[in-house]
Structure 1
């Protein structure tokens, strides 16, 4: 029969103070190093992507000027601003992925190196934010894919009915 003290120390007890084993700390520290690397690369790619996003309108205008008799090239001039806005918004979204990953890395490494549970908790909260954002973006992408498929099927059905 378990005593009250043993029940309070069970993994399911709400006031359980989790203690990380050295092996678990090693895994978190390693994950923090990789997250730091990926976060920094994410920031670099965000900067490069932003440069591309701000340049695409000019690139499309120059391409259209080189082909004055091409109607598709003329349409590119009007689309440059919209594509720039889309790319900048995509870049902002990607920035948050890199930011959450980098914040996780900084906090988790500090928490493990200095045995500070506050930093570990903050780092894990940032990791939670990263995965929450990833999940929301995934749900939106699936919804847009399904909506696109429905639109394609509806368009094909409309064309099929118009041909008969």
Structure 2
């Protein structure tokens, strides 16, 4: 028994056209751009890892730094003395972690992008673009949070100024 299917030529051409529209063509120029951006992102990620390491070293030295500052200028004149070494260590470690994450994303992007370009590997290109998206999303959210803090500081400054002028 034969399996007879009716093929509608219009359906086949529209499906073929959709597949062509979804296909992304990566030219040699685009490959070179991706490869060059991968090299720069690897450099930036390594610099980020080194700076993160320095931040961790400074964080664990915070107690010694605070006590040295106290002996030099006196505890009353040191604004960080009230925080203490432990609190400063935690704050510095949080900043180090905040700096480490985008460096890690850049490193993962770099590795995947180089593999994608060198071997024509579509899954690695997808991973690379995913890491790049996460990198920019992270910095975008961090920028929004920073702008929000600036807005709150300006708002509190305006309110403090108004209340000081009303009280006077």
For the aligned pair, the TM-score class normalised by the smaller chain equals 0.7 to 0.9
Please point out which of 139, 145, 153 is paired with 2:144.
Answer: 139
Equivalent-residue separation in structure 1 for 2:165 and 2:60 (angstroms): 41
1:126 aligns with 2:131: yes
Aligned CA-pair RMSD = 1.9
Map 1:12-27; keep pairs closer than 5 Å.
16-27=22-33
- Judged with a 3 Å threshold, the aligned counterparts in structure 2 of structure 1 residues 143 and 32 are, in CA distance, closer, same or farther, namely same
Map 1:76-155; keep pairs closer than 5 Å.
76-80=80-84, 81-155=86-160
* Uncovered stretches (5+) of structure 2, i.e. residues with no partner: 1-9
Map 1:37-52; keep pairs closer than 5 Å.
37-52=43-58
Which residue of the partner structure matches residue 8 of structure 1? 18
- The alignment partner of 1:78 has SS state of coil
Total equivalences in the alignment = 156
> Which segments of structure 1 move beyond 3 Å, counting only runs of 4 or more?
none
Please point out which of 27, 33, 38 is paired with 2:39.
Answer: 33
- The alignment partner of 2:120 has SS state of coil
* Uncovered stretches (5+) of structure 1, i.e. residues with no partner: none
- The alignment partner of 2:26 has SS state of coil
Offset from partner CA, 1:58-112 (integer Å, 9 cap, x none): 21222112334x6223x53221333322221111011001000010000000111
TM-score, structure 1 as length reference = 0.86
Q: CA deviation at 1:125?
A: 0.3
Larger radius of gyration: 2
